[in-house]
Amino acid sequence: MRVCVVGSGGREHALAVALARTAEVVVTPGNPGMVQELPGGGRISITDAPPEELSAGLFVVGPEVPLVEGLADRLRAAGHQVVGPGADGARLEGSKAFMKELLAEARIPTARFGVFDDLAEAGEFLRSLSPPWVVKTDGLAGGKGVLVTDSLPEALKDVEAKLSGRAFGEAGRRVVLEEGLVGTECSLLALTDGSRVLPLLPAQDFKRLRDGGQGPNTGGMGSYCPVADLGSAEVDSLMELSVEPLLFALRRRGIDYRGVLYAGLMLTEEGPRVLEYNVRFGDPEAQVVLPLHTEDLTAVLSEVAAGHLRTEPRFSAATALCVVLAAEGYPENPRRGDPITGIEKASSLQGVSVLHAGTDLDAEGRLVTAGGRVLDVVAEAGTIGEARHRAYQAVGHIHWDGITYRSDIGAEVPVA
């Protein structure tokens, strides 16, 4: 079968590799580093043609923006099989205010919050909360629209910058203010065909730019899977708490949601709380969840798209860990065009693969940086300690001017 993956980042590369085990994969627009013949005979190609102009037996939409803009609706209207919700379901990610409304309706635990477009009212609400203060854009901001701070003046300044439209344009003209939660974060991704919903392995994502959880929020600087403390009993209870009631609430609104439902959770002392939902695979969670999946992904996702999910996702017993290599200046103002070296050496190490998130070829045909998150180094091994060791050994071979990464991905996890 021919499968079309929509998007161009590391998540889409990971999807393409997993699908190419059993399908011919074309990625639009993709990036040149994705083009490859895989050892098992699979093939990944890229094209500039928009998805609406391509023919494929299955379309898998990677990022949230095209979903919010109704790409899945347009493809379905043309008779295609699609993994990803229509614009109605994608609002869950496109508007945090809508998400919070559904959470309340489904009685799913979340942080105390308020939604504001007026500066004075927002300030009053912030003063009624205790620190840390959390300020979010209502609309999409690529994972960068969230400020968590212990400084009330900083929170107030951020609200002003967002509401005025200076910081995030239209996405920030309405803000969601929240009480800050303390605990361990985890990403629980599930596949749903609109009525049945099955969990994938839980993963952990490192959102801050710098070691020790310092620096600004990013799209994600690294990840690992599975999360040691979350076995199948814990996952089942998280599904019952945070995913199943949400799907029920969507169905009650007449929304036929087929794709990935991703709950971003904070495991607090008072119990799990939902921070957000995403309507697609996480990036960089997909990079560590998908390599461990042992079933035929093309077949499973075809079932999701067709509305009859039957195959239970199954996983190997290994651990996967991903270190994101970013450009200097990420997330605010990433530098582009720096030549990259060392990928071949890095990916020749046992259990290591290098995925392309933001690369391009320059006029001389050299591989150069072309985005904020540039490469993902993924390592698989029997233990998280070994996966971490392999990943950082591979990272050591890769170079460009201004390369930026965290050195503590997976480090706080007890090593078996």
Residues that bind ligand GLY (CB under 6 A): 143, 205, 220, 278, 282-283, 285
CB 126 within 8 A of CB 93: no
Residues in the chain, how many? 416
Of 140 and 354, CB closest to ligand GLY: 140
Q: What is the smallest separation between the CB atom of 276 and ligand AMP, expressed in angstroms?
A: 4
Of 23 and 288, CB closest to ligand GLY: 288
Of 139 and 220, CB closest to ligand GLY: 220
- Residue 148 identity (one-letter amino acid): V
Of 94 and 351, CB closest to ligand AMP: 94
Map tokens 């999360």 to a residue.
Answer: 227
What, of ligand GLY, ligand AMP, none, does residue 220 touch, CB below 5 to 8 Å by kind? ligand GLY
Strands 24-29, 2-7: parallel, antiparallel or unpaired by DSSP? parallel
Map tokens 């994972």 to a residue.
Answer: 143
Instruction: For residue 220, state whether it binds ligand AMP (rule: CB under 6 A).
Output: no
Question: What is the number of other CB atoms lying within 10 angstroms of the CB of residue 152?
Answer: 15
Output the CA torsion sign for 138, 68, 378, 375. Answer: negative
Q: What is the smallest separation between the CB atom of 207 and ligand AMP, expressed in angstroms?
A: 5
Strand partners, 264: 187, 276
Instruction: For residue 181, state whether it binds ligand AMP (rule: CB under 6 A).
Output: yes
Integer CA distances (angstroms), 20 to 17, 24, 45, 252, 297, in order: 5, 6, 10, 36, 9
Considering only 58-66, 140-148, 223-231, 389-397, which stretch makes contact with ligand AMP by CB under 6 A?
A: 140-148
Of 76 and 207, CB closest to ligand AMP: 207
Integer CA distances (angstroms), 63 to 85, 362, 393, in order: 11, 25, 30
Give the rounded distance of the alpha carbon of 9 from its chain centre: 10
The values of phi and psi at residue 60, to 5°, are -120, 115
Of 80 and 280, CB closest to ligand GLY: 280
Of 278 and 319, CB closest to ligand GLY: 278
Cα distance between residue 244 and residue 198, in whole Å:
9
What, of ligand GLY, ligand AMP, none, does residue 413 touch, CB below 5 to 8 Å by kind? none
Helices (H) and strands (E) in the chain, counts: 13, 23
Q: What is the smallest separation between the CB atom of 110 and ligand AMP, expressed in angstroms?
A: 8
Output the CA torsion sign for 357, 360, 365, 368. Answer: negative
Query: Which residue of 4, 82, 90, 146 would you call a contact of ligand AMP, by CB under 6 A?
Result: 146
Considering only 10-18, 43-51, 142-150, 157-165, which stretch makes contact with ligand AMP by CB under 6 A?
A: 142-150
CA angle centred on 408, ends 350 and 202, rounded to 5°: 75
- Residue 321 identity (one-letter amino acid): L
The values of phi and psi at residue 164, to 5°, are -70, -15
Q: What is the smallest separation between the CB atom of 265 and ligand AMP, expressed in angstroms?
A: 9
Cα distance between residue 213 and residue 227, in whole Å:
18
The three-state (H, E, C) secondary structure of 258-270, written as one string = CEEEEEEEEEECC
Of 276 and 360, CB closest to ligand AMP: 276
Integer CA distances (angstroms), 369 to 53, 79, 373, in order: 28, 37, 9
Q: What is the smallest separation between the CB atom of 285 and ligand GLY, expressed in angstroms?
A: 6
Query: Which residue of 11, 76, 207, 397 would you call a contact of ligand AMP, by CB under 6 A?
Result: 207
Residue 27 parent element (H or E): strand 24-29
Of 185 and 211, CB closest to ligand AMP: 185
Segment 101 to 130, residues that bind ligand AMP, using CB under 6 A: 111
Q: How many residues bind ligand AMP (CB under 6 A)?
A: 15
Q: What is the smallest separation between the CB atom of 169 and ligand AMP, expressed in angstroms?
A: 17
Query: Which residue of 8, 28, 31, 217 would you call a contact of ligand AMP, by CB under 6 A?
Result: 217
Considering only 118-126, 179-187, 238-246, 360-368, which stretch makes contact with ligand AMP by CB under 6 A?
A: 179-187
Of 96 and 397, CB closest to ligand AMP: 96
Q: Is 128 exposed, middle or buried (0-12, 13-18, 19+ CB in 10 A)?
A: exposed
What, of ligand AMP, ligand GLY, none, does residue 134 touch, CB below 5 to 8 Å by kind? ligand AMP
Query: Which residue of 54, 152, 275, 349 would you call a contact of ligand AMP, by CB under 6 A?
Result: 275
Interface residues toward ligand AMP, by CB under 6 A: 111, 134, 136, 143, 146, 148, 178, 180-181, 185, 207, 217, 264, 275-276
